[in-house]
Amino acid sequence: MVFYIQDICLAISIAISAFLEIRMDKSGQKTIEALKGIVSKPALLLFLKVGLIGLAWGVHDTYLVAYWSEELGASSSLISTRRRNTSVSCPCY
C-alpha cells in the first residue's frame, strides 16, 4: 500500500513539474558572490540539522534493529513496538 502512495506522489510531482515554467536570467554576479547571497548562517544550520537527523535515522533503521535482535535477543514484536513508538512520539527524529 505504501508503495502505491509513493508512486502516486511521484506521479503528482512529475505532473506538476511538467507544467512549471522556469526562467533563468543572468544576474551579472560571479558564482562565489551569488553563493554568498544564498548561503547564510541560518541556512547552513538548517542543512546541518537535516543532515544529522537523516544520519541518525539511517543508523537507527540500519544498525539498531540488527543490534537489538542479534546482540540483545529482542523479539520482532518488541522491535516493531519500539519502532512504532519512536516514530509516533518523536516525529522530528
Q: Which pLDDT score is estimated for 81? A: 75
Q: Which pLDDT score is estimated for 87? A: 60
Regarding pTM above 0.75, the answer is: no
Return averaged pLDDT per consecutive 10 residues of the chain, 93 residues in all: 76 85 78 81 87 81 78 79 62 48
Backbone angles phi, psi at 76, to 5 degrees: -65, -30
Cα dihedral 15, 5, 83, 90 sign: positive
Quickly list H helices, the chain: 2-18, 31-38, 41-59, 65-66, 76-89
Q: What is the DSSP letter of 27?
A: -
